[in-house]
């Protein structure tokens, strides 16, 4: 079973308009409302891959109920802790050129609900792969680091993938329970504390920086593929040029692909190809967290993995 945590789930609303003019009234051409948040995107992709996935998280109020209903409509197994307040709404306004985003921060999670979450998790005892993805909401009496570390220690898991803010990751990497991270270039630079000028420099950092010792790192490079450190070997993934529609959520889809590869005992090369194909397929489709199995099958043959 793959267990995915989404601590700060949201209703994601996308408004498609012609031009965004500050101070003017806008009537959107289309409105899309989805259950969102990085963890939810990961779980959605695993669900489309027909993997045995369970989504856990906090939800609150009527927005929380809407999130749960939307997930149940796509038969995604979920177990949420219901908290006080309202789950957040995240708005993206797309005018064909730019995307303007308004992101709420979500409700405060009281200590009593954090305890309930841990209790629920401990009762499960074991999962094979676990994913923690996305931001942590405001917590009563705990830092995001403490919260994530407690979650990682509350269930036995063979492989933990953590995709959270670089500022949290820096400290989380000291824990043996973090097996794999998936930063993009910006997050990677923030993590190491300086901006890499070129690919060779990133390879050098991946090889020698003690932060990454004994960790698997999927450093994704958007349309340029990825650099991967897996089992202390380094790889470069070269991806084909495809018609891209919406790359938002490609990182989350890549995380889903990594989890799927680990769960299904893929070798390194196949796992990398599969994870890349999930990311590209998401980018080729309009909806965030949506992949197509036929696209993935076609893409796998076009992705080249080079050992470096
Ligand atoms: P997000 O935060 O939107 O989920 P990210 O910044 O974490 O994404 P990216 O590095 O943009 O992640 O992309 C992850 C993977 O998705 C890439 O390694 C690649 O396989 C695929 N991908 C992303 N953007 C493109 C693109 N423009 N063309 C082709 N593939 C892409």
- Measured from the CB, is residue 166 less than 6 Å from ligand 1? no
Distance 192 CA to ligand 1 centre (A): 20
What integer is the mean pLDDT of 37-41? Answer: 96
pLDDT at 96: 83
Sign of the alpha-carbon torsion through 183, 187, 191, 196:
positive
pLDDT band at 9 (very low <50, low <70, confident <90, very high): very high
Query: Nearest-CA neighbor of 106 among 5, 248, 11?
Result: 11
Measured by CA distance, the residue closest to atom 17 of ligand 1 is 222
What integer is the mean pLDDT of 139-150? Answer: 96
**Cβ atoms of residues 60 and 85 within 8 Å:** yes
Ligand 1 pocket test, pick from 166, 250, 251, 254 with the greatest ligand atom count within 8 Å of Cβ, gives: 250
Atom of ligand 1 nearest to the CA of 277: 20
Distance 182 CA to ligand 1 centre (A): 11
Alpha helix stretches (DSSP H) within 81-158: 111-124, 144-152
Atom of ligand 1 nearest to the CA of 226: 18
**Percentages (nearest 5) of helix, strand, coil residues in the chain:** 40, 30, 35
Distance 91 CA to ligand 1 centre (A): 21
Q: What is the pLDDT of residues 84-106, one digit of tens each?
A: 999 999 999 989 888 899 999 99
What integer is the mean pLDDT of 37-44? Answer: 97
Q: What is the pLDDT of residues 245-301, one digit of tens each?
A: 989 899 999 999 999 999 999 999 999 999 999 999 999 998 899 999 999 999 999
Complex ipTM over 0.90: yes
Specify the pTM: 0.96
Q: What is the pLDDT of residues 95-136, one digit of tens each?
A: 988 889 999 999 999 999 999 999 999 999 899 999 999 999
């Amino acid at each position: 079973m793959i267990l995915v945590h989404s601590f700060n789930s949201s209703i994601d609303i996308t408004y498609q308009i012609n031009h965004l003019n500050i101070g003017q009234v806008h009537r959107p051409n289309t409105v899309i409302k989805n259950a969102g948040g990085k963890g939810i995107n990961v779980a959605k992709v695993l669900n489309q891959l027909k993997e045995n996935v369970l989504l856990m998280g906090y939800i609150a109020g009527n927005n929380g109920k809407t999130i749960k209903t939307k997930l149940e409509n796509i038969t995604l197994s979920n177990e949420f802790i219901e908290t006080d307040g309202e789950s957040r709404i995240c708005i993206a306004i797309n005018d064909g050129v730019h995307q303007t985003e308004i992101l709420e921060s979500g409700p405060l999670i009281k200590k009593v609900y954090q305890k309930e979450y841990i209790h629920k998790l401990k009762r499960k005892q074991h999962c094979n792969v676990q994913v923690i993805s996305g931001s942590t909401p405001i917590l009563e009496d705990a830092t995001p680091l403490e919260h994530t570390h407690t979650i990682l220690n509350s269930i036995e898991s063979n492989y933990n993938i953590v995709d959270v803010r670089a500022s949290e990751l820096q400290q989380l990497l000291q824990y043996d329970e973090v097996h794999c991270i998936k930063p993009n270039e910006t997050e990677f630079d923030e993590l190491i504390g300086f901006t890499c000028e070129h690919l060779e420099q990133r390879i050098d950092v991946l090889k020698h920086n003690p932060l990454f010792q004994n960790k698997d790192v999927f450093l994704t490079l958007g349309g340029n593929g990825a650099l991967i450190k897996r089992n202390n070997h380094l790889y470069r993934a070269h991806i084909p040029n495809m018609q891209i529609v919406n790359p938002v959520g490609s990182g989350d889809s890549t995380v889903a692909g990594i989890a799927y590869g680990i769960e299904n005992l893929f070798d390194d090369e196949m796992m990398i190809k599969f994870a890349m194909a999930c990311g590209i397929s998401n980018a080729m489709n309009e909806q965030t967290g949506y992949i197509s199995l036929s696209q993935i099958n076609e893409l796998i043959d076009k992705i080249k993995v080079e050992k470096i």
